[in-house]
Amino acid sequence: MPASRRHHRTLATIVHCVGLLTALPVLPAATAPAIAPVAQAATAPAATAPGTPAAPKALAAPGAQAAPAAGRPHAAATPGVSMPAAPPAVPTPTRVASPAARPEVSVAVTPRNTAEPGYRIKVHNRGNAPVDTTVRQELPQGLSATAISDGGRETRPGGSGSTEVTWRLKLPPRSTTTLGTTLSTAAPQRPVTAPACAFAKDGRQPYDCATATWTAPGAAAAERPEPTGWRRQAPALLIGAVAVLVLGVVGLVTWRRRRRPVAAALASDGPGTVYPRPSAPRPPARRRKPPVWVVVPVAATVLAGTVGAAAWSATQQVAAIDTDSQPTNGAWKGSGARGELGTPLREDAFEFTVFRMVCEPGRGARQCQATVGVRNLTPEHQSWHSKLQRAYLANGNWVTTDEPATRRANQGRDVFAEPMAAGSRMVLPLVFTINGREAPQHLELRSGVFSAGVRVDVP
């Protein structure tokens, strides 16, 4: 036998043995369904009456049950025997949180065009069944309600410093209920933001939230800052610079016209020369320069324009800086923002809105629940983490989200387990556990480790 054929036979034998070894774990699953029919066929003749042909049944039984057994799992064919499941042929894709279902109860808040802060709250029930709900409107610090629609009352939840207006409603199916409030303010020109939320019957799980900012009529023109310093004199400076530039150009043109006849007379050979030409060649004359009274205004104008443009650019950049904002820890992606309750704040990927913040009374370990609206403004799925959401105390210490308590507040759903879908929005409670009587001063919310995040002042 040639050596090449011998090698091929050896290789074929090895491959055949490897295939047998690989198929051994599958043999029990393949042969078990056929064993049970054979056992039943062996016991069938004993149960049949004398004279009844049992051999055909014994021969037909394996063939009749082998086909169904091939298409069923082994556990179904042989109870009590469990086999490991085969791995999937295609890897399981990463799960992405589907957009939250549209709530049956929605809230819309609009400001009124009145001299005092006023709001109109519309609560809509889209479902076909009545819904018991609690509507709460947060009032800014130091403000109180002077007029409340029927059924509402002013309360102070959990001994906190904030005040809210509460309604307990039973919304009929396919109906819209309109509520209203009027607030008192010591500064009528200051915008006032008052968010409102509709909660479930227990008062903790939010259905939907909305916010609106009231602005006094004509306050927009009054809030426009009056230019100060050099900004007020900018038109006069600009006119002066243009005048100096025009005078400089006129002087330069006049000087050149006066110099042209003298130069022409020196260059001509015929009569009309101002000075007789010397017989001996003379050295070339030095080139005359513009007089100082022309150069200085032009240079001053150029310098004033350059300095003015630089000052204007620097002033615009400085005015865009928020001096009240504080730097966030380890954040350099995007720009941070700071605001109050009910103010939508945009960071790198999310738009956060804190609608409500209430803490349990007590001295020991107590929970503070924040009702937060999160909107993914990017065209991609975004993940966020509980450890990046913080509540800061007055002494500078901070605590992160209490994951078990937050999961219980969201009816067992882990809101951080799956990324948010692009363009989706959800309103959810976040729970922070704090030791002591001190309440959080502000919240820091962010979508990622390198995101600048937002800071929300809470009462």
Pick the range with the lowest mean pLDDT from 18-32, 164-178, 246-260, 356-370: 18-32
Q: Does residue 439 lie in a domain region?
A: yes
pLDDT of 32 reads 43
Q: Does residue 16 lie in a domain region?
A: no
Q: Where is the domain boundary, 165, 183, 215?
A: 215
Q: Is 150 helix (H, G, I), strand (E, B) or coil?
A: coil
For the stretch 296-353, pLDDT in tens is 777 787 788 788 777 777 776 655 554 444 544 444 677 789 999 999 999 989 999 9
d(CA 303, CA 165) in angstroms, rounded, equals 61
pLDDT range class, residue 389, cuts 50, 70, 90: very high
Distances (CA, A) of 103 to 177, 205, 208, 249, 427: 16, 12, 7, 72, 10
Residues above pLDDT 90, as percent of the chain: 37
- 187 or 442, greater pLDDT: 442
Residues above pLDDT 70, as percent of the chain: 63
Please compute the mean of the pLDDT values over residues 347-367 and round it to a whole number.
89
pTM for the predicted model, two decimal places: 0.58
pLDDT at 80 over 70: no
Please compute the mean of the pLDDT values over residues 137-165 and round it to a whole number.
85
pLDDT of 299 reads 79
What's the CATH number where 361 sits? 2.60.40.1240
d(CA 418, CA 250) in angstroms, rounded, equals 73
d(CA 222, CA 208) in angstroms, rounded, equals 35
d(CA 449, CA 331) in angstroms, rounded, equals 7
Q: Are the CB atoms for 392 and 326 separated by under 8 Å? A: no
* Nearest of 426, 414, 350 to residue 381 by alpha carbon: 350
Which residue blocks in 214-364 are alpha helix, DSSP H? 219-223, 234-267, 292-319
d(CA 422, CA 381) in angstroms, rounded, equals 5
- 439 or 250, greater pLDDT: 439
Q: What angle do helix axes 234-267 and 292-319 make, rounded to 10 degrees?
A: 150
What's the CATH number where 163 sits? 2.60.40.1530
Q: Does residue 45 lie in a domain region?
A: no
Q: Indicate the residue type of 308.
A: G
Positive or negative: CA dihedral 124, 129, 130, 131: negative
d(CA 445, CA 375) in angstroms, rounded, equals 12
Please compute the mean of the pLDDT values over residues 79-98 and round it to a whole number.
48
Largest CA distance in the chain: 161
pLDDT of 77 reads 41
For the stretch 273-291, pLDDT in tens is 555 555 666 666 666 677 7
pLDDT at 11 over 80: no
Q: Does residue 134 lie in a domain region?
A: yes
Q: Indicate the residue type of 411.
A: Q
For the stretch 221-262, pLDDT in tens is 555 555 555 555 667 677 777 777 777 777 777 777 766 555
Q: Does residue 160 lie in a domain region?
A: yes
pLDDT at 98 over 70: no
Domain housing 441: 337-457
Q: Does residue 281 lie in a domain region?
A: no
Q: What angle do helix axes 55-71 and 27-47 make, rounded to 10 degrees?
A: 150
Q: Where is the domain boundary, 156, 181, 215?
A: 215
Count the domains in the chain: 2
Positive or negative: CA dihedral 230, 234, 236, 237: positive
Q: Does residue 348 lie in a domain region?
A: yes
Q: Where is the domain boundary, 180, 215, 250?
A: 215
For the stretch 121-133, pLDDT in tens is 999 999 999 999 9
Q: Does residue 166 lie in a domain region?
A: yes
For the stretch 207-218, pLDDT in tens is 999 999 999 887
Averaged confidence pLDDT in the chain: 75
DSSP 230: G
